[in-house]
């Protein structure tokens, strides 16, 4: 099961890298294959908006990582910040999407903590205000859920086209492969 999961993640990222080298976009790929499917599944503006919100949320999580690092808080405390209860076998798309975003948050925090340990960072000069950060995260989460709810992908091909478009957008925002893979595992 784990190997299958890893294969899927690496395969998706390989497709993303191939497309970026070829200069193609996920939306153009979907439109070239089937214009009706792509238009019925999602509008590009909604995909762009969703990618922007995912990126915005991940940037806020980076700030949360700084706060936790400076206050010597563990990474495990990330649970519950995006959804109240995570179910291993999510029953609907929104639950799977929410769980994937929590995994991405965990991945980006681990990435930063490892980098800071490696570089010998003891404390950052800037510590974000936790109350302001929590408020921004709640607003972003609400918008993220709202936009995701407007995107409907009924079949696997539509869902994969959406993931390719989102993956390319997140890659262009500078996120690592691990974070992108975690974010798209829904």
Residues 39/30, Cβ–Cβ less than 8 Å: no
Of the two residues 42 and 170, the one the predictor is more confident about is 170
Q: What pLDDT was estimated at residue 7?
A: 39
Average pLDDT over residues 6-28: 37
Residues 32/39, Cβ–Cβ less than 8 Å: no
Q: pLDDT by residue (tens digit) across 43-60?
A: 788 889 999 999 999 999
Asked if pLDDT for residue 39 goes beyond 90, the answer is no
Instruction: Please report the domains of the chain, with CATH numbers, ordered by start residue.
Output: 2-183 (1.20.59)
Q: What pLDDT was estimated at residue 31?
A: 31
- For a pLDDT cut of 70, what percent of the chain falls above it? 67
Q: What pLDDT was estimated at residue 30?
A: 34
Q: Which of 58, 93, 28, 27 is nearest to 183 (CA)?
A: 58
Looking at every residue in the chain, the average pLDDT score rounds to 75
Asked if pLDDT for residue 33 goes beyond 90, the answer is no
Q: What pLDDT was estimated at residue 43?
A: 73
Distance of alpha carbon 70 from alpha carbon 127, whole angstroms:
7
3-state secondary structure of 106: helix
Q: Which residues lie closer than 8 Å to 82 by C-beta, 6 or more apart?
A: 98, 101, 102, 105, 141
Distance of alpha carbon 46 from alpha carbon 36, whole angstroms:
16
Of the two residues 74 and 26, the one the predictor is more confident about is 74
Q: What pLDDT was estimated at residue 37?
A: 38
Q: What pLDDT was estimated at residue 157?
A: 82
Distance of alpha carbon 47 from alpha carbon 99, whole angstroms:
19
Lowest-pLDDT range of 92-106, 122-136, 152-166, 170-184: 152-166
């Amino acid at each position: 099961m784990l190997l299958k999961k890893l294969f899927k993640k690496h395969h998706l990222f390989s497709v993303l890298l191939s497309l970026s080298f070829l200069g193609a976009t996920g939306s153009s790929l979907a439109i070239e294959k089937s214009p009706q499917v792509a238009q019925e599944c999602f509008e590009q503006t909604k995909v762009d908006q969703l990618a922007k919100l995912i990126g915005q949320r991940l940037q806020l999580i980076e700030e949360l990582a700084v706060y936790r690092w400076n206050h010597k808080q563990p990474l495990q405390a990330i649970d519950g910040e995006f959804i109240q209860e995570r179910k291993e076998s999510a029953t609907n798309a929104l639950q799977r999407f929410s769980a994937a975003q929590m995994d991405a948050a965990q991945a980006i925090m681990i990435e930063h903590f490892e980098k800071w340990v490696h570089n010998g960072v003891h404390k950052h000069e800037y510590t974000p205000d936790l109350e302001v950060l929590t408020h921004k995260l709640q607003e972003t989460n609400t918008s993220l859920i709202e936009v995701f709810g407007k995107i409907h992908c009924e079949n696997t091909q539509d869902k994969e086209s959406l993931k390719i478009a989102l993956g390319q957008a997140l890659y262009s925002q500078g996120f690592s492969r691990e974070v992108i893979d975690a974010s798209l595992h829904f």
